[in-house]
Amino acid sequence: MKKIGALFLSLILAVSVFSGAASAAAKPVSVWMDGAAVQFKQGNPLVENGTTLVPMRPLLEKLGVGLQWDGKSQTVLGTKSGLSFTLQAGNRTAVVNGAVETLDVPPRVIRGTTYVPLRFVAEAIGYKVTWDAKNNAVSLTPLGQPGGSTGFLWKAEKNGNTVYLLGSIHAAQAQMYPLRAEIEAAYKASQYLGVEVDMTKIDQEAMDKLIADKGTYKDSTTLKDHVSAETYQALVDILKANGMEEDAFDKYEPWVVAQSIPTAAEGYQANLGIDAYFMGKAASDNKLIVPLESADSQLDMFDRFSPALQEEQLRQTIDAYRSGNGGDPAMDALTRMWITGDEAALLSLVKATAEDQEYYKAMVLDRNLTMSSKIEGYLNEDDQTTRMIIVGALHMLGDDGIVTRLKNDGYSVTKL
């Protein structure tokens, strides 16, 4: 629950120093969809540093992706069901739904054929990617939601001011899209977009320095001195299995390490999160983005967790990694909850999170107080403005939820 809560509620930390070892294919890679192999007549798929690259046009045609190709700049724009991605040959920087992402391996042109990263493209437009190591095969499964995801949307009003409240999942899958029309209409009607942290303004170099300042040991001790021997050895086993030095994480505190180890939640990406989607749209539309919190405050929150809670989060992350089997049932359940707008499931998750008082107070209660105060300030202004506020869905409901607080304080709040 704690690891899921961190993904579900808060800033996704771009701090991973984890990288998989390069893999060499023993036999040609095959790509399967709808029970049949995808045919690549221009050239066979290839694997580079653990990333499968495939000829672009056959893949996009098979996936039903609209293609715009600029031969001069060697840039491709792909679109499907409201989702989009942009890639450029030789460039590690890609864009998914307006959010920038760094690729492990860039697209490339080989003997006149453009090769693109298979997983990146497939997940960007709504497919689950499964790797069969035994047969060197990749399977693609469509994950659509006819009519659009329901999500969690409310409308708060006072004095001619309107605030649309959208409960988000920060790390999501492409299957979350498209969103239902009411959510898109709320965004369109809003003059401002409010989010926890404005990720469009994040300077990665500055973020790395901030994490180094807050999340590393400076007293000559190392991670090994702050966690149990069992936890440390389990981490070492993961690092060694991936060709890394066993002391690669020694300078980091447990909360940083817990955010840095990949788990089995395949396809869940920060740049596909609901808030990231709308931040991308707002940046494109020149719509003002107003942060309710800061990256600094969220990092402080993690850093203030007790040693016991930090180690527990690390242990849960290690357990999730060990049980990796190509999927994450808990994260999948969160996705179904959001897609269907299941309030009962959301309330149950809030109650489960509250069982750990330290975690709940820091991650939910204290932040709800701050965000509710700012939202009430918007509703009490004299400018008769419409805003859209997007924060983690767990902040919305329950006794301490933002929606509950607004209702208790006398504001008109309607579920949409």
| pLDDT for the residue numbered 268 | 64
Q: Is 38 exposed, middle or buried (0-12, 13-18, 19+ CB in 10 A)?
A: buried
| pLDDT for the residue numbered 15 | 33
pLDDT digits (tens, 9 = 90+) for 255-293: 999 888 765 455 566 667 888 889 988 988 999 999 999
Phi, psi (deg, nearest 5) at residue 368: -60, -40
Question: Does 8 have pLDDT greater than 70?
Answer: no
Residue 239, H or E segment? helix 229-241
Question: Does 22 have pLDDT greater than 50?
Answer: no
Residues 6+ apart with CB under 8 A from 319: none
Residue scoring higher pLDDT (82 or 44): 44
| pTM for the whole structure | 0.68
Mean pLDDT of 41-52: 85
| pLDDT for the residue numbered 241 | 84
Domain residues of the chain, as ranges? 2-11+147-415, 30-135
Residue scoring higher pLDDT (21 or 167): 167
Name the pLDDT band for 42 (thresholds 50, 70, 90).
confident
**Location of structure tokens 């989009």:** 84
Structure tokens at 298: 């969220």
| pLDDT for the residue numbered 324 | 57
| pLDDT for the residue numbered 269 | 67
Mean pLDDT of 131-136: 69
Name the pLDDT band for 344 (thresholds 50, 70, 90).
very high
Mean pLDDT of 50-68: 89
Name the pLDDT band for 11 (thresholds 50, 70, 90).
very low
Mean pLDDT of 313-329: 73
Which of 89-103, 117-131, 192-206, 322-336 is predicted least confidently? 322-336
| CA proximity to 124, closest of 90, 78, 162, 69 | 78
Residue 350, H or E segment? helix 343-353
| pLDDT for the residue numbered 212 | 86
Mean pLDDT of 206-232: 92
Please say whether the beta carbons of 311 and 253 come within 8 A: no
Name the pLDDT band for 83 (thresholds 50, 70, 90).
confident
What residues pair up with 387 in beta bridges, in sequence order?
163, 192
| pLDDT for the residue numbered 17 | 33
In CATH terms, the fold of domain 30-135 is: Copper Amine Oxidase; Chain A, domain 1 (3.30.457)
Question: Does 124 have pLDDT greater than 90?
Answer: no
Structure tokens at 201: 């303004």
Residue scoring higher pLDDT (2 or 62): 62
Question: Does 81 have pLDDT greater than 70?
Answer: yes
Read off the DSSP letter of residue 305.
Answer: S
